[in-house]
Amino acid sequence: MEDEWGFTGVSDTDIGGNKWTLQNYIHCHAYPMGSNNRDGYVLNGVWNAEKNYPEADNKDKTDKIPAYTEWANLRETVKRVLYTYLNCNGYKNGVDIAAIGKTKIDITGTATQSLAKGTSVALPELKNHNDVVYELANEEVDILPKGVVLAQDGTLSGIPTQSGEFQVNVKVIVDGWVKQTYKVNFNIASAFAFSAPQGEKGVEYNGAITSEYITTDTYAGGIKYTLHEGALPAGLTLNNDGTITGIPTEKGTFVFTVDVAATTSGRRSRTTHFYETFTLEIIGEDDPIVNEKNIVSVEEKEDGSGYIITFDDGSTIEIKNGKDGQNGQDGAPGQNGKDGQPGANGEQGPAGPQGEKGEKGEKGDKGDPGEAAKGCGGSIAVASSIVGSIALLGVALAIKKRREDR
């Protein structure tokens, strides 16, 4: 009993100091029911049913004598031993914590539907204990499905608003200090259907998320679908009515969670959010692979046969010059172009130099004698002579002017 829960006392009586009682000194400091064996006395009492009292040997073991003190001490010692054992940490108040630690409980349900009445994680082997409390082992890690609540008596209630498989660790506390954890698995079925979990890149897509439970008959205040987590393929849009439309421009597998806000009607309308995760696969041809390397240098080979291209990752490629191609055939003669428009007249050039004096011409033949003029004919001849002189004078002046200009 020593050091049990900090206990450092002893269980003892005064019988060892009185040899007339012929009883042994009971000392439980080291071992329960151990003996200090003074004067050779030993524990040997038995119950005498006929006399209705315990008896023990006398010192010489020649007779039996009443041994009330020995019997009382024995009962007290046994009581202390049993009390200590039942309340010790090793016994755990009779709770089989090893067996509890191996326990696994499975809970099933359907999202948007209340859990069945009486759903519980309470352990039947602890029903006879008065002080039993159930709680999540770690509230930051052990997370129940949204909408589900765990009570201290182990009962589960609520409407799951999220489907999927969940595992949590539940801690049970008995009598305020005996503790153990065990696993609880939830399998919540989906309440939604996805009409088109696959599409094709570059092809018009039409899909829809629906539920036989989430309808306007139950939620007359309206139902709205929005994207909660994840992302749709580029080019697609989730509409408020749960339809997904558009033309996907990328391929791959996309996981996204939808928030379905369902509202009841009336003065005390209430909106409940249901969450569902879907997977959409877009198939199609692979896009061309884009080389993300950067060119560092381009150097011509020493023999002039090609070039060496070096990239930023240290890799290189060699480009060899191809053979010269053959000369092509002469092309057909082209058609004559259209005649151009006449050019504008040029400006008058400067006067040329005076020519050399010509040779004197031969004397002309003598003309036939004319008829004598009559009337005003003489005047006309004179006038003509004067006009001719004036003209010659004008020419002479013009030639003189040109020479001065030159």
- What are the DSSP calls for 250-318, one per residue? S-EEEEEEEEEEEE--STT--EEEEEEEEEEEEE-PPPPPPP---EEEEEE-TTSSEEEEEETTS-EEE
Q: What is the pLDDT of residue 170?
A: 98
What integer is the mean pLDDT of 398-403? Answer: 49
In a domain, 76, yes or no: yes
User: Which of 192-196, 293-297, 336-340 has the highest average model confidence (pLDDT)?
Assistant: 192-196
Give the span between the Cα atoms of 355 and 376, in whole angstroms. Answer: 41
For residue 241, the number of C-alpha atoms closer than 13 Å in the C-beta half-sphere is 5
Based on the fold, state whether residues 72 and 31 are members of the same structural domain.
yes
Q: Nearest 5°: phi and psi at 391? A: -60, -45
User: Which of 31-35, 87-91, 232-236, 336-340 has the highest average model confidence (pLDDT)?
Assistant: 232-236
pLDDT (tens digit, 9 = 90+) per residue, 264-305?
Answer: 998 889 999 999 999 999 999 765 655 567 888 888 888 888
Q: Considering 232, 255, 283, which residue would you say is the last residue of a domain?
A: 283
Structure tokens at 340: 């151009």
What integer is the mean pLDDT of 301-321? Answer: 85
Based on the fold, state whether residues 164 and 220 are members of the same structural domain.
no
Residue 119: pLDDT band by 50, 70, 90 thresholds? very high
Q: What is the amino acid identity at position 382?
A: V
- H-run or E-run covering 164: strand 164-174
Neighbouring residues of 156: CB distance < 8 A, sequence distance ≥ 6: 107, 115, 119, 120, 121, 148, 149, 150
Candidates 190, 203, 212; CA nearest to 258 is: 190
In a domain, 365, yes or no: no
Cβ-contact 122, 173 below 8 angstroms: no
Based on the fold, state whether residues 70 and 133 are members of the same structural domain.
no
Question: What's the domain count of the chain?
Answer: 3
For tokens 């023990």, name the residue: 56
CATH number at residue 144: 2.60.40.10
Based on the fold, state whether residues 74 and 102 are members of the same structural domain.
no
pLDDT (tens digit, 9 = 90+) per residue, 240-256?
Answer: 999 999 999 999 999 99
Q: Considering 43, 71, 88, which residue would you say is the last residue of a domain?
A: 88
For tokens 């309808």, name the residue: 215
Q: What is the amino acid identity at position 263?
A: T
In a domain, 139, yes or no: yes
Residue 368: pLDDT band by 50, 70, 90 thresholds? low
Structure tokens at 19: 């040899």
In a domain, 258, yes or no: yes
For residue 55, the number of C-alpha atoms closer than 13 Å in the C-beta half-sphere is 13
Based on the fold, state whether residues 121 and 173 are members of the same structural domain.
yes
Better-scored residue on pLDDT, 141 or 38: 141
Cβ neighbour number for residue 23 with a 10 Å cutoff? 26
DSSP annotation of 107: E
pLDDT higher than threshold 50 for residue 5: no
Q: What is the pLDDT of residue 405?
A: 52
Based on the fold, state whether residues 174 and 237 are members of the same structural domain.
no
pLDDT (tens digit, 9 = 90+) per residue, 127-182?
Answer: 999 899 999 999 999 999 999 999 999 999 999 999 999 999 999 999 999 999 99
In a domain, 334, yes or no: no
- H-run or E-run covering 180: strand 178-189
Based on the fold, state whether residues 277 and 199 are members of the same structural domain.
yes
For tokens 């504008």, name the residue: 344
In a domain, 321, yes or no: no
Based on the fold, state whether residues 80 and 101 are members of the same structural domain.
no
Give the bridge partners for 357, in sequence order: none
| Rg of the chain, C-alpha, whole Å | 63
Based on the fold, state whether residues 159 and 207 are members of the same structural domain.
no
Q: What is the pLDDT of residue 228?
A: 96
Based on the fold, state whether residues 141 and 74 are members of the same structural domain.
no
Burial 218-246 (b: 16+ CB within 10 A, else e): ebeeebebeeeeeebbebbebeeebebeb
Structure tokens at 80: 């202390």
Give the span between the Cα atoms of 130 and 189, in whole angstroms. Answer: 35
Cβ-contact 115, 186 below 8 angstroms: no
Give the span between the Cα atoms of 109 and 163, in whole angstroms. Answer: 9
Domain membership of residue 105 as a residue range: 97-189
Q: What is the pLDDT of residue 21?
A: 38
In a domain, 182, yes or no: yes
pLDDT higher than threshold 80 for residue 34: no
Based on the fold, state whether residues 25 and 69 are members of the same structural domain.
yes
Structure tokens at 296: 């560092």
User: Average per-residue pLDDT in the chain?
Assistant: 78
In a domain, 117, yes or no: yes
Q: Considering 267, 283, 299, which residue would you say is the last residue of a domain?
A: 283
Based on the fold, state whether residues 145 and 182 are members of the same structural domain.
yes
DSSP annotation of 15: G
